[in-house]
Each structure stands twice: as C-alpha cells, then as structure tokens.
Structure 1
Amino acid sequence: MTELASQKLTEAEKAGPKKNAAGCKAANPIERLTGNKHLVALSDKDRNCVVCSTPAQRRRTKYYCSGCTNKPYLHAKGCFQQYHSQHLI
C-alpha cells in the first residue's frame, strides 16, 4: 500500500507543478497536506481564491494560509479545508 502511494507521489512530482483552476501553479502537495502549521491569517489586500476562482469568474478573499510557503489566498470557510486535503490532488 505504501509503495503504491509513494509511486503515485513520485509520478506527480515528475510531472511538475500543476496549475489550478485560476491558472496559478499549485503548491507542493506534500507541504500543503502535512502538519498542523496551517493557520488562517487576514491580509490588508484581497486576492483571488486559489480554490474557487476561475479565469472566467474571480472570487476575492482577504484570508490566506500563513503556514504555506507560497501563502495561498483562500476563503476561510470551505476553500481552506479543501486546499489542505486530498480533494485537489
């Protein structure tokens, strides 16, 4: 079982960074799925949510994950949890 999971992860890493619905490079799946370091933080600026924004429809938010290296902007309800779970892989 662990061999299969590591094999899938290796194939995903070989493919390079994927782009999300908004057209931005997706974060490293290992980083965004691990640990309890992910915290919702409030910014002065608003940006597109990396989960629910599309090129056709922008959805803005002032919340971001302060624990992720790329500091993705996410809606605090729903999108934050979805981004840090298996649903986007």
Structure 2
Amino acid sequence: MGRCEVCGNDYEMAFEVHTQGSVHVFDSFECAISRLAPICEHCSCRVIGHGVEVGRHWYCSAHCARASDPAAAEMIRDRAPA
C-alpha cells in the first residue's frame, strides 16, 4: 500500500510518479494533477493538456497566452495551419 501525499489516503492501488528527480505517491489522478500540473499564469486553472509555454511561462491555451503577452501573439497558434 502507499499513502497519497496529497490527501493522506492509504490505498492498495496507489501509484508512483517519477518526475524531475523526485518520486511522488498518489491514490488518484485528481491528487496527482492537483500536486504536479502547472498553473496557467493568466486564468489560474491547472494545465492538464499540452498547454502553451511562452518565455518559460505556462498557459492553458493560446488564448490565455495572447491575453497575458500580446507581444507574443504572432508566435502562438491554437492549431497548425490546414
């Protein structure tokens, strides 16, 4: 069994996540996301998809990246051209 580092639940199906030289134990993806997912620097939601990184800043979408950094608008696209 492993004890979740977020909620403290001692769960027989807990799992480990190895990232950036650390090992974390969680009982659910919800706890893993709440601990490890970056936070959008514009709207403060958790970035659980690919997200957008601009100048070492993380955003949940191109929209939030453009809203936060209008100068980067030309570099950021929501999708590849057809």
Mark yes or no: TM-score above 0.5. Answer: no
Larger helix share, 1 or 2: 1
Larger strand share, 1 or 2: 2
Band the TM-score falls in, shorter-chain normalisation = 0.3 to 0.5
Q: TM-score, normalized by length of structure 1?
A: 0.33
Q: TM-score, normalized by length of structure 2?
A: 0.36
Q: Which has the higher contact order (CA 8 A, sep 6+)?
A: 1
Which of these two proteins has the greater Rg computed from alpha carbons?
Answer: 2
